């Protein structure tokens, strides 16, 4: 970097005061909610939408939109961190905890990993441990309103303690697996786990 040409007077716009202890290394705080796009917005009609849990479970489970909305839900207030360096504090969501989804589901003891899959062919992988114990939820409201399509609506996975690419937009289910299977970005150079506090952005970090 020392040899790089420096543009006189350029600072970039993302200078924001840091908030003690809440902003992982290399991140800046934004009041916006940037949309990152890898494809056109999927639009599955709600009468055809389902959420499934499949793979290494005794019995695969599927909920329709109505059934999903009548599951016990919670509101969450949390910070989110995107690998492209923005962090948004105090985001408010409403949704169903993954813990709740796993109630009454017999997990095969060999199930160690999860693949979250979405409309539009997006996938992301997580260790099972990272989504249990109320660390992850499937959200259908943001900021008190139904989750907008460009932010992943009708429902998205939210895993606040990992970089936000793990919070799969337009999520349609979780597939439980014995072996880890890198997802859309993990297979192309991004870190397999993505802990923002350890700055695990890229493979090898």
Partner 1 sequence: MRKILEWQIATLTRVKAETPTVKTLTFSLPSWVPHFPGQHYDIRLTAPDGYQTERSYSIASEPERGGEIDLTVERLEDGEVSPYLDDVLMVGDQIELRGPIGGYFVWEAQMGEPLLLVGGGSGVVPLMSMVRHWAAAGSKVPVLLLYSVRSPEEVIYSDELNHLCEMRDGLRIFYTFTRQTPPGWTGYQRRIDAQMLHEVVSQISKPFRVYICGPTLLVETAANHLVQLGIAAENIRTERFGPTGPSL
Partner 2 sequence: MKTLPMDVNTALMLDGNAAGGMLNEIFSTEMTTSPTQCAHCGRHGELGSLQAFMHGSGAVLRCPACESVIMRIVQTPEFTYLDLRGATFLRLDRAVLNR
Q: Dihedral of the CA atoms 136, 182, 36, 174 (nearest 10)?
A: -40
Window 20 to 49, contacts with partner 1 (CB under 8 A): none
The interface partner of residue 37, options being partner 2, partner 1, none and the CB cut-off 5 to 8 Å by kind, is partner 2
75 counts as binding partner 2 under rule CB under 8 A = no
Residue closer to partner 2 (CB basis): 22 or 43: 43
CA atoms within 13 A on the CB side of 5: 1
Max Cα distance, the chain (Å): 63
Smallest separation (angstroms) from partner 1 to the CB of 10: 5
Q: 58 exposed, middle or buried (CB, 10 Å; 0-12, 13-18, 19+)?
A: exposed
Please pick, from the candidates 37, 59, 103, 104, the single residue that binds partner 2 as defined by CB under 8 A. Answer: 37
> Which residues, 6+ apart, have CB-to-CB distance to 17 below 8 Å?
29
Task: Quote the least distance from Cβ 21 to partner 1, whole Å.
Answer: 22
List 70, 74, 189, 197, residue binding partner 2 (CB under 8 A) = 189
Binding mask 97-126 for partner 2 (x = CB under 8 A): ------------------------x-----
Beta strand 86-97 with 28-29 is parallel
- HSE toward the beta carbon, residue 45, CA cutoff 13 A: 2
Q: Which of partner 2, partner 1, none is residue 6 near (CB under 5 to 8 Å by kind)?
A: partner 1
Q: Which residues bind partner 2 (CB under 8 A)?
A: 35-41, 43, 83-84, 121, 149-150, 165, 185, 187-190, 201-203
């Amino acid at each position: 970097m020392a040899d790089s040409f420096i543009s006189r007077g350029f600072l970039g716009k993302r200078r924001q005061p840091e908030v003690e202890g809440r902003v992982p290394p290399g991140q800046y705080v934004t009041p916006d909610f940037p949309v990152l796009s890898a494809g056109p917005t999927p639009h599955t009609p709600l009468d055809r939408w389902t959420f499934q849990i499949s793979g290494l479970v005794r019995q695969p489970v599927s909920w329709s939109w109505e059934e999903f909305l009548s599951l016990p839900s919670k509101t969450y207030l949390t910070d989110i961190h995107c690998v492209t360096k923005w962090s948004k504090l105090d985001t408010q969501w409403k949704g169903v905890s993954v813990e709740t989804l796993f109630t009454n589901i017999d997990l095969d003891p060999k199930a160690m990993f999860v693949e979250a899959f979405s409309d539009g062919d997006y996938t992301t992988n997580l260790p099972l441990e990272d989504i249990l114990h109320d660390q992850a939820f499937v959200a259908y409201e943001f900021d008190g309103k139904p989750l907008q399509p460009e932010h992943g609506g009708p429902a998205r996975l939210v895993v606040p303690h990992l970089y936000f690419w793990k919070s799969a937009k337009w999520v349609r289910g979780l597939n439980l697996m014995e072996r880890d299977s890198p997802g859309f970005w993990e297979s192309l150079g991004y870190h397999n786990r993505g802990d923002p506090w350890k700055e695990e952005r890229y493979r090898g970090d």
